[in-house]
Amino acid sequence: MSPSLFRSPAALPSGPSSGPALLVIAHGSRDPRHAATVHALTRRARALRPGLRAETAFLDFDTPTVAQALSRLHRSGVREVVALPLLLTRAFHAKSDVPAVLADAVARLPGLSVRTAEVLGPSPLLTAALERRLREAGLTPADRPGTGVVLAAAGSTDPEAIAVIAEIAREWRHTGWCAVRPAFASGASSSGVPRTEDAVRALRAEGVRRVAVAPYVIAPGRLPDRIAAGAAAAGADVLAAVLGPAPELARLLLRRYDTAARTPSRLPALTA
């Protein structure tokens, strides 16, 4: 899917620059660890691309909001922005929330155009980040054949998102783990995907000697805590950290940014 483009009336040229600004849009959380992690990831991407203006905004709970961040960029003279949803699947937030808040904000900012990048997942870089976190949790290459992995995502009832998580688990299984099973922190009853603790217990029942839980989430918060609690309740041997500001994620942000910045939109501009 090509990046979508929002443009306010009478859009103006952006002038000489190294490219559009990057606005990383995270969900937000009441947990302060969430915002701290998102800001750390944005800083890492900024460090990898000197000269790139990269800012962070949130859909809920934290500030700046998307409207506040875009207004600040606009006041500073920025006229082109790539908005990057910090999401791992194309579910409700990517399909509804982000386009709505962007369209509303751009309609109020004359001369600003915003191109929306694709969500982060799926990507081999995300799998590499998962592998990094499992290594940091103590697993070695020699452990792979005897270890089953629970790929624990936040949860969704969106069929596209569910299918993506299942496909990632299937593909990851081919890298040497004895099993990889998808799980959700929430939404198991309606999605058909088991909760973290149920996936751990299912692997145990199948005779898997060692079970590791790999959270497929970016930042700490309520749902990652639920994943951790489920792993502990079911007796998982290893619990990896959330993806956080892993270098692979920072590189992926820039990859999505570059694709959006150079790809002409096939969608009509939305105007006020």
Residue 126 covered by a domain = no
* 152 shares a domain with 91: no
Q: Which pLDDT value is given to residue 268?
A: 34
In tens, the pLDDT along 63-105 reads 999 999 999 999 999 999 999 999 998 877 778 789 999 999 9
* 253 shares a domain with 217: no
Domain that holds residue 55: 4-120+247-262
Residue 12 covered by a domain = yes
* 213 shares a domain with 111: no
Which are the contacts of 7, defined by CB distance < 8 A and separation ≥ 6?
A: 106, 112, 113, 114, 269, 270, 271
Distance CA 78, CA 6 (A): 15
Give rounded-to-5 percent helix, strand, coil for the chain.
45, 20, 40
Residue 26 covered by a domain = yes
Residue 132 covered by a domain = no
Residue 172 covered by a domain = yes
In tens, the pLDDT along 24-37 reads 999 999 999 999 99
Residue 267 covered by a domain = no
On whether the CB atoms of residues 181 and 163 are closer than 8 A, the answer is: no
In tens, the pLDDT along 51-66 reads 999 999 999 999 999 9
Q: Which pLDDT value is given to residue 94?
A: 76
* 258 shares a domain with 226: no
Residue 45 covered by a domain = yes
Alpha-carbon distances, residue 203 vs 99, 116, 189, 196, 239 (angstroms): 39, 39, 19, 11, 15
Pairing of strands 21-26, 4-7: unpaired
* 15 shares a domain with 114: yes
Which tokens hold the place of 261? 């910045």
Q: How many domains does the chain have?
A: 2
Residue 133 covered by a domain = no
* 143 shares a domain with 56: no
Distance CA 21, CA 39 (A): 16
* 219 shares a domain with 145: yes
* 39 shares a domain with 113: yes
Q: Which pLDDT value is given to residue 264?
A: 59
Q: Which pLDDT value is given to residue 18?
A: 66
Q: Which pLDDT value is given to residue 6?
A: 53
- The CATH number of residue 63's host domain is 3.40.50.1400
Distance CA 38, CA 247 (A): 13
* 156 shares a domain with 64: no
Tell me the CA end-to-end span of the chain in Å, nearest whole number. Answer: 24
* 39 shares a domain with 112: yes
Neighbouring-strand partners of residue 65: 58
* 147 shares a domain with 86: no
In tens, the pLDDT along 254-270 reads 999 999 999 754 333 34
* 251 shares a domain with 116: yes
Average pLDDT over residues 124-136: 98
Instruction: Provide the pLDDT confidence category of residue 272 given band limits of 50, 70 and 90.
Output: very low
